[in-house]
Amino acid sequence: MTVDLAVFLATSGHSGVDRVFRNLVPEFARRGLHVDVLAIRGHGPHYGELPAGVRRIVFGADHVNTALPALWCYLRRERPQVLLTDKDRVNRTALIARRLARVPTRVGVRLGTTPSVNLANRGAVERWLQTASMRRLYRSADAVLVPSRGAAADLARLARLPPSLVHVVPSPVVGARMHALAGEPPDHPWFCDGGPAPILGVGELSERKDFATLLRAFARLRGERRTARLVVLGEGRRRAELEQLARTLGIADAVSLPGFVANPYCYMARAAAFALCSRWEGMPVVLIEALALGTPAVACDCPSGPREVLADGRYGPLVPIGDDAAFATALEGVLREPLPPALLQEAVRGYTVEASADAYLAALGLGSSP
């Protein structure tokens, strides 16, 4: 059997990248492509039951760096038409493996963040090494895929890539599965006790997602709306800090951090508003999901993605990064006068699974069918 496409990832199992590829892979298979999903032991994505035409191959390695020999062997043995990867370390490993294997496999590498902002938070040596490696290796890719125009411009500038090599491909977010899951009941009392619907945040409890700004904004809002409540879905290293901040702000009784949940859509569909406080993104999948479910949103105007999704503020307020006062004011506004769900859904009509698959396959040279 000829392998049309191999997808090599190493994720946390609950990131935006996981959701992107859990949507894309079945759509590729539905179109008749033979797909191999390559994995590292103990890493995601966790696809569940794979459709016909898709094989899962787990390398005998626990880390991306030690997976290079296994990937080299796989490429020599299977010679897929295209190898698609995501995240810089995996991208670099794939490009090196292709070079060593000396096979005609085309390689498409994807970055889901705005790289210069991401690297700005690293040490000087690490920042230099990663930038230098991107400039050296990414030129050998057949396609570099990014989810937003802002991320494309940033990457082309940072890695000194010709613009023709960088392809903006929409994230595969809106689909029948998401809407079906949105109909399930949330496993949280605040969504079914008859009280006011909570404000919702979703994401890793990390510095990048900046839920501390959301807590401060909510504390200001709580002063005006004493019945307001906030739920943040996700897990991460900042949990203890956020719990302590909620206590310090006097809002712990109105804030819930239930951790990671497999189905965030049923929460999004019932939330009073969705809040995105990220300091940087590539394209925030959760923002697209919330709008697709008709939930009004407020987002920080971070690089990159929110401004593109919200059309310069037409579909929801954009506020400066880290400005909790402006965020509180914006939340109050969307709670008082929410936009119609149909208008919000119109904002994200370009992010369907089908449209995204078309764009990915075109960028990878596979067309819409094998």
**176 to each of 162, 170, 199, 359, how far by Cα in Å?**
37, 17, 24, 19
Residue 368 lies in a domain: no
DSSP 11: B
Question: What's the pLDDT score for residue 48?
Answer: 85
- State how far the Cα of 224 lies from the Cα of 218, in Å rounded to an integer: 10
Cβ contact 110:10 at 8 Å: no
Question: What's the pLDDT score for residue 16?
Answer: 82
Range of the domain at 286: 177-349
Residue 288 lies in a domain: yes
Domain identity same for 100 and 53 = yes
Q: Which amino acid is at 109?
A: V
Domain identity same for 123 and 205 = no
Domain identity same for 187 and 313 = yes
Domain identity same for 192 and 336 = yes
Question: What's the pLDDT score for residue 121?
Answer: 80
C-alpha torsion 8→10→14→15, nearest 10: -80
Q: Domain with 159 in it: what CATH number?
A: 3.40.50.2000
Domain identity same for 237 and 197 = yes
Domain identity same for 304 and 258 = yes
Residue 31 lies in a domain: yes
- State how far the Cα of 203 lies from the Cα of 260, in Å rounded to an integer: 8
Region class of 324: left (phi > 0), else alpha (psi between -120 and 50), else beta = alpha
Residue 369 lies in a domain: no
Residue appearing with tokens 């119109």: 346
Domain identity same for 157 and 260 = no
Q: For residue range 172-201, what is the model confidence (pLDDT) as tens digits?
A: 999 999 999 999 999 999 999 889 999 999
Domain identity same for 259 and 327 = yes
Quote the number of domains for the chain: 2
Residue 118 lies in a domain: yes
Question: What's the pLDDT score for residue 118?
Answer: 85
Domain identity same for 146 and 247 = no
Domain identity same for 113 and 205 = no
- State how far the Cα of 214 lies from the Cα of 21, in Å rounded to an integer: 28
Domain identity same for 13 and 129 = yes
Q: Which residues are within 8 A (CB) of 215 and not within 5 positions of it... i.e. 6 or more apart?
A: 230, 242, 245, 246, 249, 251, 255
Domain identity same for 181 and 137 = no
Q: What is the pLDDT along the chain (370 residues), one digit of tens a residue?
A: 799 999 999 998 778 888 899 999 999 999 999 999 999 999 989 888 899 999 999 999 999 989 999 999 999 999 999 999 999 999 999 999 999 999 999 999 999 989 998 888 889 999 999 999 999 999 999 999 999 999 999 999 999 999 999 999 999 999 999 999 999 999 999 999 889 999 999 999 999 999 999 999 999 999 989 999 999 999 999 999 999 999 999 999 999 999 999 999 999 999 999 999 999 999 999 999 999 999 999 999 999 999 999 999 999 999 999 999 999 999 999 999 999 999 999 999 999 999 999 999 999 999 754 4
